[in-house]
Structure 1
């Protein structure tokens, strides 16, 4: 099918199903300059990201995380919603999408006008104390990092997903990590690290959204992480049709009723325009 036929197919899919749940992944944010974890074949790029249990267990791992984040986070903080985010908000406003779950931690859906996206993996712009549960804006932590580590103020490195950066280990030996201003406790970004589980309350809310939906639209996700793939698996088991927009393979290709394998920042705006 050509582009116009694919858009028409997606419009018909949304027209047939009045309670569509959207599930978005990293592919919706790449046009905003935020790298993703996988290539078009679903293969992970580069080294494994920091694992949650290691972060909490090892001071060296925390130094590595915060140093790399200090260098990489400004790229993510400076990112703006792209045409796909705005189109998703328009589809919600028009009633074509009734609920939205995102695997992303960048907060761009909210900035584009989406009403209440459920952030499955948290939000990178908030930091939490694991001891007293105090919460801080990530921007405030960035200022603390800069003050405590002036030697890294002009460090440049290749940006990686979720505010990480490609930084060599020898640059981290004298790095000072942030601590809670109230109790001195360990600070962690309010996200679900690799190796950790999605909080039970978040999972229950997401499953409730799926239960109320009559169809699922996957946008910009390879679904290689089970926390995302499970929604396709459960939708298929309950007879709910699934469509996907993703420029590459997905783990759920065999479950899809319809797939458009092109960049979401091109497809979603055309779809929103067709339905407006």
Structure 2
């Protein structure tokens, strides 16, 4: 079975790059266009976000500048049928967990940036309705967790591709990722010490949006131990087939999430798409749905996207961080000075990923 990593073909990238080079827009012009679009939505604008939104939080985008998926030699951490088959290919399974064990802490510790908080302000002010994110970092929820009850977060933020913050076994048991991360460390003390040294020295591995890191050639994966599901053990079953609760390549989005995403688009009057190339079909089909339903769509993304050739889409090619706070202030007016809006609009860290494209990490331990 062959599963291709979704990416953008050169035939799309070249024309889009030319369009960006030949079309400039100021932050003020972009702010006005986006604010006018949201005002026309009258509180019923759905939002779709992608990895570009989390770049300012220190998490690299897969397909942006230096993105891993623009490298034709890149091999993703695993595809679903390799990850969950209980066969001799278990090395791939252990490879996935070792890389995730090292890559999870930077995602866990990442903080929302100004764009996350600006989008949260738009939702809180009922300018936008539901938000669908392709990201598995949980940063949209983290931006509002101090202000919204958990029920509202679950109702208004749909994680299309799941979350890195929990683990699911092949029998359907869900476990806290933090608890399972601790079990992984206890089962692999050499790697636990290696990770501790990375954190102490600040040698953060190059982390991709799904918590995957790339380790040097020759890394031994075959002895990495994946603990058993504790809930299965309570039922006197032995089961080490677990995975982060994210949608891997070759795996289908659950029917419930798929149907809910379609409903969000159908129930909205228009769609704002932010920080994504739409290379994955699960998000692209939602944009197509909106277009087919003759709903206005505005795409805010600095670079190329899979939707660039779709008719009826308004494009604003600029960094989200350059405009989103001002968009909120322009749309809300004096309301932006009341309630929790001042705190939201003054919150957010900016910690760009390192420019160094190398994946170099300290030599892994010899176990």
Superposition TM-score tier, normalisation by shorter sequence: over 0.9
What does 1:198-237 correspond to in 2, within 5 Å? Answer: 198-237=253-292
Deviations 1:143-199 (A, max 9, x none): 111111111122454323311111135231221112201323211111111111111
**Helix, strand or coil: the match of 1:240?**
coil
Is residue 40–residue 248 contact of structure 1 (8 Å, CA) maintained in 2?
A: no
C-alpha separation in 2, matches of 1:149 and 1:51: 24
- For 1:78, which of 109, 112, 118 is the aligned residue? 109
For residues 114-153 of structure 1, the aligned pairs below 5 Å read: 115=153, 116-131=156-171, 133-152=172-191, 153=193
For 1:48, the equivalent position in structure 2 comes to 76
Judging changes above 3 Å, is the alpha-carbon distance between structure 1 residues 41 and 165 closer, same or farther for their aligned structure 2 residues? closer
- Structure 2 residue matching 1:161: 3-state secondary structure: coil
C-alpha contact 1:101 1:206 (8 A) present in aligned 2: yes
| Corresponding residue SS for 1:95 | coil
The question of 1:177 aligning with 2:226 is answered yes
Q: Secondary structure at the residue paired with 1:136?
A: strand
How far residue 40 of structure 1 moved from its aligned partner, in angstroms, is 5.0
Structure 1 stretches of 5 or more lacking a match? none
* Residues in 2 aligned to 1:33 and 1:55: alpha-carbon distance in whole angstroms: 27
SS of corresponding position for 2:220 = helix
CA contact (8 A) 1:84 1:266 kept: no
C-alpha contact (below 8 Å) 2:45/2:128 kept by paired residues: yes
Tell me the distance in 2 between the aligned counterparts of 1:178 and 1:263.
Answer: 42
Bigger radius of gyration: 2
How far apart are the structure 2 equivalents of 1:158 and 1:210? 34
Shift of 1:215: 0.7
The verdict on how the C-alpha distance between 1:14 and 1:128 changes in structure 2, with shifts beyond 3 A counting, is same
How far, CA to CA, are the matches of 1:47 and 1:129 in structure 2? Answer: 24
TM superposition score normalised by structure 1: 0.94
TM-score w.r.t. length of structure 2:
0.71
Mark the runs of 5 or more structure 2 residues left unpaired by the alignment.
1-24, 199-204, 233-237, 333-367
Pairing partner for 2:299 from 216, 229, 244: 244
How many angstroms apart in 1 are the aligned matches of 2:51 and 2:225?
30
What does residue 57 of structure 2 align with?
Answer: 32
**Alignment correspondent of 1:258:** 314
Instruction: Tell me the distance in 2 between the aligned counterparts of 1:64 and 1:172.
Output: 5
**SS of residue in 2 equivalent to 1:72:** helix
- Matches of 1:160 and 1:13 in 2, distance apart? 32
1:102 aligns with 2:127: no
| Alignment partner, residue 335 of structure 2 | none
- CA distance in 2 between counterparts of 1:228 and 1:265 reads 22
Distance 2:113 2:35 in 1: 21
Task: Give CA-to-partner distance per residue, 1:227-260, whole Å, 9 cap, x none.
Answer: 0100111111111111011121011123353222
| Aligned partners of 2:77 and 2:96 also within 8 Å | no
Are 2:95 and 1:64 aligned? yes
- Once residues 240 and 49 of structure 1 are traced to their aligned partners in structure 2, the CA distance between those partners, rounded to angstroms, is 37
